[in-house]
Amino acid sequence: MIVSFTQLTAYVLGLLLLSNLLKRIGRNKASRLPLPPGPKPLPLLGNYLERPKEEPWLVTDKWIKQYGDLVYYRILGQGVLVLGSLKRTHDLFDKRSKIYSSRPYSYMLSVLCGWDFAIPVQGYGDIWRQHRRVFQQYFNINAVSKYRPIQLREARKLLLRILNDSNPMDVKEHLRNTFATIVMEIVYGYKVVDNDPFIHITEEAMDGFNAATVPGAFLVDMIPIMLYLPSWFPGGGFKKLAKKWKKATMEMIDVPFFKVKDEMKRGVAQPSITSSMIQSVAEKPKAEAEAMEQVLKNTAGTAFAGGTDTTISAVYSFFIAMAMHPEVQKKAQKELDAVIGTDRLPEFEDRESLPYINAIILEVLRWQNVIPLITPHLSTQDDIYDGYFIPKGTVIVGAAWSILHDPDVFENPLDFNPERYLKDGKVNPDIIDPAIAIFGFGRRICPGRYLSDDTMYAMISSTLATFNIAPPLDPNGVPVQLKCQMSSGTITCVLLFIHWLSLI
């Protein structure tokens, strides 16, 4: 029997209608309380036509200003709750973490693109706890200090590459290679080379992650029957994209892991987290060691994937901020000169004596936070909160951009102003640390945040101690007025990245 596209569409719409009716019946039995406020949904479609596409954090911020810091909307049959303040995120993700710590299941991301290995994607439960426990052994606040020599060495190699390259457009590529080198060496003992094909594989895999984690971006996540559509069928084009992304994802996690295993057998493996993990299970019974191997491979893959794009994007924002605010740059360089002089580069031991540098790092994270809508959580049971009913299966999104741009908390929030974090020449502990919103909430907070912070310090302090960063000049020799515009996606990135660097 051949099913026409019209018949399939009617069937899908019928399923949506039935699903919505069943959910309403279930909700009426569970609670007569209202859902949180939000934009009015259309029948069947919900707010699908209004769903944020370009710069979605600004759309949700508009809704937060209109409806308050709890905003509920629907994409087809899926309810989404946006939390627009630290109070709301603390109440649900911390105080009620038992029912708000899971993840929504994405067929596009987990099944079709192959990202079910990643710890941030895994549902809340024993498997997630096992992976996270292994991860934290190597990335807790005490463990990351041993990676600092690698971070400083690569930061200084970056300075030399920039110094020897006359093309300012190459700086972005140098930065990307530097970050990849840091993470690859720490995780796999792998030395990245120029034009390394593995970097391009990783970029393609991350493109898939970035696209597939946008709520409502792919209908298959709301209409799972679309999994069975052939790629040539109308509406099945997402499968072609997924096939390409999955191939890159599998190579990203398999190739370096098995390379380390092979090098260990030959006795030539470099020190790395992966070699340490494999060695830690070597004496276990064969069946147990084999069962753990997948956990170790997943953990290593998560460390690599999670340690590149987010930190790179933050440092891109630093460069554009310095080009736009030379007065901030000068003040930072003055502090560096006073603390370390001009005959050496900053070390980690200097960090406590560099409050303005630390304030710049904090403001970079806040000003253009790289994950403006935190990776969604999922409610695992019906709940009543502040007089509203939150159904089981609701996707919960922490609006990090809105939280970190709240004018009641941060004066003139669109301005880049490190001074907001300082008081009496020290970092003011009373000001909200943007890490609270940037690295996730509750039990799902990013376990790699300490490594990211150290890498940012090494890169930013070394760059400011060596170079001036300035905008390009127009034909008349006048500096171009820059505007910081971010890409759309789960992980955002500065779109305009043109600058000049010169030695101080």
Q: Which residues are annotated as a binding site?
A: 446
Residue 416 CB contacts under 8 Å (≥ 6 apart), including other chains: 321, 324, 325, 328, 363, 367
Phi-psi region at 156: left, alpha or beta (left = phi > 0; alpha = psi -120 to 50)? alpha
Q: What is the signed CA dihedral for 454, 460, 463, 469, rounded to 10 degrees?
A: 160
In angstroms, what CA-CA distances link 277 with 154, 187, 292, 343?
A: 24, 10, 10, 40
The answer to whether 437 touches 86, Cβ cutoff 8 Å, is yes
Residues annotated within the binding site for heme are 446
| Contact present, 499 and 471 (Cβ < 8 Å) | yes
* Chain centre distance of CA 447: 12
Contact between 239 and 112 under an 8 Å Cβ cutoff? The reply is yes
Strand partners, 339: none
In angstroms, rounded to a whole number, what is the distance separating the alpha carbons of residues 139 and 318?
24
Cβ 51 vs Cβ 216: under 8 Å: yes
Whole-angstrom distance, CA of residue 410 vs CA of residue 421: 10
Which neighbouring-strand residues pair with 427?
422
Q: Name the strand (E) or helix (H) holding 57.
A: helix 56-67
Rg of the chain's alpha carbons, rounded to an integer? 24
- Measured CA to CA, the distance from residue 259 to residue 305 in angstroms comes to 17
